A and B are shown apart, each in its own frame.
Chain A
């Protein structure tokens, strides 16, 4: 035992932004942000700076947020080698000390909440409330996994059956080097969470942040190192596909922790399954991928509650959360009223820059995303009825007007493919069972929603729903660490639950030791 026990976990409170004084704090954070950041390939104490990769403000693409080196395949290999060399010492560090380092990293972030949120505002166009929540979630992951690791590895392990003459023990050991391949949509929280899970349990880690968010990735590694994680135990590899592919196929990577698109995730799973010559371990993949999230609205739903919740689920952060709602399946008796009121609500949404507190729908992350979403919007306009935002859309930046589409053909790609933008479809259903059938027909199962005031309907949908996270009578976004462990089923992911009690099990290997305690017939 070292030090005093940690107090019980509690979520880092988000700022109370309904108070002007709290909003002012964030504005100060933005004012103090000095851009562009310089993001190196950072392996141990070695920093290689470069300008091959540039991240810009999606709302004002001429504003450069970070200038980064782009890691090569060789650098990826060097990072893995360094992490492998550091593994033995970090794994041998008592879990309480590892946990303490994460808690100090959380404190480092807590002291910089406003400037970290401001960075997420600039680099990924996260509007203030979501940027603040992103920082809080990063802090939560550090605090939560620190405690979870102590629970998992700090005691005697789970109780096994014991009989006279033998002693049986189950312990969880770290697996080795963990490659963390992170997305841009939660540019602080998700890389922090995956990396913290690996480090807390005694693995060393190599973090490749999203190419759109190297600046946020830098801050994550700075926090961990400032907290006391040895430099060799956590490397930063800014870059694009090359570094990620090199990590995924590296023989000495024991675990890949990935959050991102389904296409990339499946590629990682394939690559990991291909055992390299000389490999001494199977690569495990913890993957969180896409979804096609549906909200079911039954005839007894209160539209006064459902509509704001649907709007929030579908359009906040421009629909770019894995958990965002894409389809509404509404009882036919409410369909027309819902479509009319949703259309009216969407017409009032303000499309604008992320640093404006009044913005409802910020720009999407990059030009390619803008074009993709616009293609889907065109398809919706050609094949269904649409209603869209009425307000002005800034000319500069990757803005897309929010859109609701109904009356689409049943085989429309809009009802199947993940759009990852501010586009929502609405379909009438005869009853809740028909809605459940449609949800069940999807190959993905990340989040889902239900609006009903009948407890029996709720129980029925809960029983039929395949999704990883089902939300009843509330928005489908905003999972909290420790409260809503998050992750999808089917092709949405490996069924792992970030921020949950069993997440760390994916970063360790179980070892059972049985000792014979009988010698010459005497139990010792």
Chain B
């Protein structure tokens, strides 16, 4: 048995190197292609990073170019050491024509950045991109960005947008060409149309201390979407958000999917966040549920690191709670691998989607899948549109099953998403930032040195 882990480790290294070699060479690194040097600056300077994100965040709320420029210079005002380019920007803020030019440049920059992450204003506008991805051997999951839901009317509107998106996607994907790798695994056929939804948008009543309220309110809307997805043969994936709503979301989805009418379909999925210290217990809950809830199409579990790390840490610290997420990146990475192993071994009880931009985590999943004797089609890899494009293409080129998570929505709705992604990926310990700054491959592929077994 002693050679088992060593063999796995060797395989991870081999797979990782091969995958790295498959990265498209014509392009630079994803962060570099954002051409904004601002992003690079932001990753190195916390004050600049804050100023940039505050600006991105407020762009849709500004009433004029002048207003935009006033905000931008207001944020830059709070940055201690300004590089020359920003000092020039500050000077432009002194005159009215200067502000107009600065506001226009700032807005254009943000719009440009947004378009890398957001594939269109609505699903119809996104179809061109989706078709191109499909041709490039990449499936998609569409996520509808929107304002926060604070009223029942807003929840209804979001549900209606989801219903419309399902129809549009199902009709469009039907016309796409055959693609065996993306359409079958060992269990059976995989839906082409795939929509990700958020429970927080399906109800204004998510209350951390009363999960049943949000569940009760969201259930009818989610049930209608499940029925429609079943009818259209589409996949519905329910996203996970912050820990405040985890209990509500997970219970709601598992309860609804256990209703007899959904035993035969649709294909549906949940998300497991590896940064949560108790994610192993959450996986226990999911697997126990799967054991007693036979489904024609097994539940898809999308494994992610988790996108609300800063929020979880700040909230816990403010309240004096123990921090619910791993605070060391290596611990989180090690947990991700442990969860990957459990999920892959749990098949065919569940289907598995590994959603990570971390080359090591991805290589680990591929190597483990191979060692379990499963086919590449039996595990899905997911990347984020705009950030994981190169990895996605490399995976597809390596004959693996890939899906890109594609946010759709207008600029107003997109900013919160954009800020979260930028925050996540300019963090000091971000894999993409490491990669962008030339951290050597062996270091990128090194096994996570966990402080203890998670």
Tell me if B319 and A14 are in contact (CB < 8 A): yes
Q: Are B151 and A18 in contact (CB under 8 A)?
A: no
Give the shortest distance, in Å, between B106 (CB) and chain A (any CB): 14
User: Quick one: given A344-B151, A344-B154, A348-B205, are A300 and B71 in contact (CB under 8 Å)?
Assistant: yes
Q: Which of B61, B150, B212 contacts A453 (CB 8 A)?
A: B61
Residues of chain A within 8 A (CB-CB) of B244 are 18
Residues of A1-44 at the interface with B, using a CB-CB cut-off of 8 Å, are: 10-14, 16-20, 23
- Decide yes or no whether B399 CB sits under 8 A from chain A: no
Give Cα distance in the complex from A333 to B64, angstroms. 13
**What CA separation (Å) do A206 and B275 show in the bound complex?**
52
Within 8 A of B (CB), among A110-149: 128-129
B213 within 8 A of A: yes
- Find chain A residues with CB under 8 A from B57 CB: 302, 453
The closest CB in chain B to the CB of A455 belongs to: B74
**Quick check: is B175 within 8 A (CB to CB) of the other chain?**
no
Flag if A300 contacts B67 (CB, 8 Å).
yes
Answer yes or no: B371 CB below 8 A from chain A CBs. no
Q: With A304-B416, A455-B78 as known contacts, state yes or no: A129 contacts B209, CB within 8 Å.
A: yes
Q: Does B210 sit within 8 A of A, measured CB to CB?
A: yes
Interface assignment of B348: CB less than 8 Å from any CB of chain A: no
Contact A455 B75 (CB under 8 A): yes
The answer to whether B319 and A18 have CB atoms under 8 Å apart is no
Q: What chain B residues lie within 8 Å of A345 (beta carbons)?
A: 150-151, 204
Known contacts: A13-B321, A344-B150. The answer to whether A358 contacts B247 by CB under 8 A is: no
Asked if B70 is at the interface (CB within 8 A of a chain A CB), the reply is: yes
Contact A13 B320 (CB under 8 A): yes
Within 8 A of A (CB), among B209-251: 209-210, 212-213, 217, 243-244, 247
Q: A300 contacts which of B62, B78, B154, B416 (Cβ < 8 Å)?
A: B62
Q: Is B148 an interface residue (CB 8 A)?
A: yes
| Residue B171 is within 8 A (CB to CB) of chain A in the complex | no
Complex interface: chain B residues within 8 A of A308 (CB): 148, 150
User: Once the chains are docked, how many angstroms separate the CA of A242 from the CA of B75?
Assistant: 57
B21 to chain A, nearest CB (A): 44
In contact, B63 and A333 (Cβ under 8 angstroms): yes
User: B20 contacts which chain A residues (CB < 8 A)?
Assistant: none
Min CB gap B320→A, angstroms? 3
Check A514 for interface membership: any CB of B closer than 8 A.
no
Task: Give the contacting residue for A10; candidates B77, B204, B320; CB below 8 A.
Answer: B320
Alpha-carbon distance A308/B71, docked complex (angstroms):
24
Q: Which residue of B lies closest to A346 (CB)?
A: B151
B207 CB-CB contact with A under 8 Å: yes
* A17→B248 CA distance, assembly (Å): 13
Given A13-B319, A357-B210, check contact A347 B151 (CB 8 Å). Answer: yes
- Bits for A295-314, please: 1 = Cβ < 8 Å to B, else 0: 00001111111011001000
Contacts of B190 in A (CB 8 A): none
A contact residues around B243 at 8 Å (CB): 18
A168 proximal to B (CB < 8 A)? no
Query: Which residues of chain B from 358 to 390 have a CB within 8 Å of any chain A CB?
Result: none
CA distance A194 to B194 in the complex (A): 59
* A302 x B61 contact (CB < 8 A): yes
A45 interface residue per 8 A CB criterion: no
Contacts of A305 on B, CB cut-off 8 Å? 148
User: Which of chain B's residues has its CB closest to A305's CB?
Assistant: B148
Q: How far is the CB of B229 from chain A (nearest CB, A)?
A: 26
Q: Indicate if A382 sits at the interface (CB-CB under 8 A).
A: no
Whether A454 sits at the interface, judged by CB under 8 Å, is yes
Residues of B with C-beta under 8 A to A12? 320
A520 within 8 A of B: no
B208 CB within 8 Å of chain A: yes
Q: Mark B45-61, 1 if CB is under 8 A from A, else 0.
A: 00000000010011001
Instruction: Find the A residue at minimum CB distance from B58.
Output: A453
* Bound-complex Cα distance A444 to B213 (A): 38
Tell me, in angstroms, the Cα distance from A158 to B304 when the chains sit together. 56
Interface presence of B147 (CB below 8 A): yes
Name the CB-closest residue of B to A453: B58
Per-residue B-contact encoding for A335-374, CB less than 8 Å = 1, 0 else:
0000001011101101000001110100000000000000
In the complex, chain B residues whose CB is within 8 Å of the CB of A455: 74-75, 77-78
A456 contacts the other chain (CB 8 A): yes
Task: Please tell me if B449 contacts chain A, counting CB pairs below 8 Å.
Answer: no
Chain A: minimal CB distance from B410 (Å): 14
Q: Does B153 contact A (CB under 8 A)?
A: yes
B25 to chain A, nearest CB (A): 41
In the complex the two chains form, what is the Cα distance from A455 to B320 in whole Å?
29
Cβ distance A506 to chain B, nearest Cβ, rounded Å: 28
Proximity string of chain A (439-470) to chain B, C-beta cutoff 8 Å, 1 when within and 0 when not? 00000000000000111100000000000000
Is residue B152 contacting chain A, with contact meaning CB distance below 8 A?
yes
Assess whether A357 is in contact with B209, with CB atoms less than 8 Å apart: yes
Chain B residues with CB under 8 Å of A454's CB are 58, 70-71, 74
Query: In the complex, which residues of chain A have a beta carbon less than 8 angstroms from the beta carbon of B208?
Result: 17-18
Tell me the complex Cα distance, A341–B62, Å.
20
Contacting residues, chain A, for B78 (C-beta < 8 A) = 455
Do B321 and A17 have beta carbons less than 8 Å apart? no
Shortest CB–CB separation between residue A117 and chain B, in angstroms?
13
Complex CA gap A188/B212 in Å reads: 30
A358 and B213 within 8 A (CB): yes
Residues of B within 8 A of A18 (CB): 208-209, 243-244, 247
Contacts of B151 in A (CB 8 A): 341, 343-345, 347-348
A294 to B154, CA, bound (A): 27
Beyond A14-B319, A456-B74, whether A344 also contacts B153 by CB under 8 A is yes
In-complex Cβ contact of B152 among A16, A304, A333, A348 (8 A)? A348
CB-CB under 8 A from A11, the residues of chain B are 320
Q: A359: nearest residue on chain B (CB-CB)? A: B210
Query: In the assembly, what is the distance between CA of A341 and CA of B204, in Å?
Result: 11
Return chain A residues, CB-CB under 8 Å to B320: 10-14
User: In the docked arrangement, what's the CA distance between A134 and B416, Å?
Assistant: 34
**In the complex, which residues of chain B have a beta carbon less than 8 angstroms from the beta carbon of A23?**
209
Interface string of B70-102 (1 = CB under 8 A from A): 110011011000000000000000000000000
Closest to B61 in A: A300
Which residues from chain A contact B321 at a C-beta distance below 8 Å? 13, 16
Report Cα–Cα, A14/B148, bound state, in Å: 27
Would you list the 3 A-B pairs with minimal beta carbon distance, nearest first? A344-B151, A13-B320, A18-B208
Query: Can you add 18 more A-B contacts, CB < 8 Å, to A302-B61, A343-B151?
Result: A12-B320, A14-B320, A16-B319, A18-B208, A18-B209, A18-B243, A128-B209, A300-B61, A300-B62, A300-B71, A302-B57, A333-B63, A344-B154, A348-B152, A348-B217, A358-B212, A454-B58, A454-B70
A contact set with B: CB distance below 8 Å: 10-14, 16-20, 23, 128-129, 299-305, 307-308, 311, 333, 341, 343-345, 347-348, 350, 356-358, 360, 453-456
Q: Can you list 11 contacts pairing A with B, beta carbon distance less than 8 Å?
A: A17-B209, A18-B247, A23-B209, A302-B57, A305-B148, A341-B150, A344-B151, A344-B154, A357-B210, A358-B207, A455-B78
